[in-house]
Structure 1
């Protein structure tokens, strides 16, 4: 988020209207001192300024995403999620993954691990938001067993993106998914006061609803790099954790809210990076107590897979 904020400060188009320019002059100093989300919460952008922020955000993340995808295809990088997937239970309905990231690395990681990916869009070039068509496209076999019909689906992940995706565009009043770059508005929700309003528009609403439904039905949570600062998910996720659902939180640095949840709920185990007296390792929160373990990196998904799941 810090790198994105710096990019916006230096790349927001100079062709803004006078009113947007004045508003941006109020916003951008706060990005450097208080962070992107805090700045946009203090000053809600106009529709035109928000469009400029969305465009610049998409350009920045797309460039970073393209670099990572190239490394994956050149076999110089394996995504951490790809290494995790073999260790996960794979229900016939699909592995639910809820991500607030705009990039498509979760989808790529799943496909690299041999899974299909259901994003509720149907079509290969100009895909439409058609959840039912997308769902049934993974059906591979139908059997009549007695009086019951049984369906067999290809192994897949259901990726829910309540904040949008780099390949979602607004086209003639409807969302369309296209893998390349189009001269159309991207459908991504930026932080700030307008986030909650935008979340109730298509296709964000469908992804938010399905993501929250997956959260409501989950018997376990593995939470990676999430700060518990999103209103679209918090009305479901935090109450479920507080109800006793077993939860593991892995991140580089626990946010204040994430740390509070880990301290207050004994069903939560959290790990983040810690350095003490020149020694690096992992800080754990277990049963509300903080513990430091030097020399291990279980806060990192790679370290967690190698040290815990592969042990």
Structure 2
């Protein structure tokens, strides 16, 4: 099979999109290296054991250890230190998110998501599924610009609270029964949380869409904590709570039902999330497209161990894209199709 035919088939059957940090870096948001530097510069004021533990983590980062491994290398991080890590992680990404939102709102489709969503707006597909481990809201911004509604586990509105999934399903069923063609939803599964999610000092989760980096002093004043799951050991503990476990359950359902999946900027380094894809990766009837500036060692190990079948993986190469696949004939393509935006431009035209 030719790669063009494989990609056309994969994107024509309403694929599940799995979006990792590589996509956000391409959009100008901080990556793990920048986040590590930000944390080292801004986590201050701790004393005693907290100070000693943070110095140990910081030394590991200076030696080149990645952030997640560095955080997991210490045995016990206190609630106070964890709160600082969460807050400064939120601050680092929130600082640049508004700039990306402005670009999208002014017509710059920085990731290709707007083009993708618009293509499906007038089809019979009432629901598009997106899984993202990113905290940013590039998917949500793009869906809104494209004219689609989205569900991320919360009600709609500037101040929103967790919404049960069966209520959302009832809404979609109502739309289908009325045969309204123009209403389409994006289900955005964010197992690590979102920049717009917060937890009050009473334990209530709330989605505040108009809160940004400049509001950090106000968040502190009102004891509002960002509800994001940091790259360290906390993710395995916090995601068993609401709203994360509901989101994970519905995400798993979407994974099981999909006919094709596109991974964009996903490094296959997150065991917590990747475990949800194990059966899908080995499923020979599910089409898989993997897009990355550079294919990770973890992904290449999956190939070597035979744990992924029926796939096309694309990475950057000189004057084009390198292709690794068990189903297509080519190993090089003359255009840059390793980014989602350029993949769509090649498949649908530069418009």
TM-score, normalising length: structure 2: 0.78
1:2-28 CA distances to partner (integer Å, 9 max, x unpaired)?
Answer: 11111111111x211321110000001
Aligned runs of 1:37-186 on 2, under 5 Å? 37-44=68-75, 45-76=77-108, 78-87=110-119, 92-131=125-164, 132-136=166-170, 141=175, 154-171=183-200, 172-179=202-209, 180=211, 181=215, 182-183=219-220, 184-186=224-226
Aligned partners of 2:169, 2:197: CA distance in 1, in Å? 18
Structure 1 unmatched runs, 5+: 144-149
Task: State which of 282, 299, 304 in structure 2 corresponds to 1:258.
Answer: 299
Task: State which of 310, 315, 336 in structure 2 corresponds to 1:272.
Answer: 315
In structure 2, the CA distance between the partners of 1:288 and 1:94, relative to structure 1 (3 Å rule), is: closer
Aligned partners of 1:259, 1:88: CA distance in 2, in Å? 32
Aligned partners of 2:38, 2:199: CA distance in 1, in Å? 24
TM-superposed deviation, 1:91:
5.7
Q: Does 1:8 align with 2:51?
A: no
TM-superposed deviation, 1:156:
0.9
| Greater helix fraction, Structure 1 or Structure 2 | 2
In structure 2, the CA distance between the partners of 1:290 and 1:10, relative to structure 1 (3 Å rule), is: farther
Greater relative contact order, per chain length (Cα 8 Å cut-off, separation 6+): 2
Aligned partners of 1:61, 1:283: CA distance in 2, in Å? 31
| Matched residue SS, 1:249 | strand
| Greater strand fraction, Structure 1 or Structure 2 | 1
1:152-183 CA distances to partner (integer Å, 9 max, x unpaired)?
Answer: 58211100100000111112212111111433
Aligned runs of 1:229-240 on 2, under 5 Å? 229-240=269-280
Q: How many residues align?
A: 300
In structure 2, the CA distance between the partners of 1:243 and 1:58, relative to structure 1 (3 Å rule), is: same
TM-superposed deviation, 1:195:
1.4
Range moving further from structure 2, 33-42 or 89-98: 89-98
Aligned partners of 1:254, 1:236: CA distance in 2, in Å? 20
Tell me if the contact between 2:323 and 2:333 (Cα under 8 Å) persists in the aligned partners.
no
Aligned partners of 2:176, 2:112: CA distance in 1, in Å? 34
Alpha-carbon RMSD across the aligned residues, in angstroms, is: 2.6
| Matched residue SS, 2:161 | strand
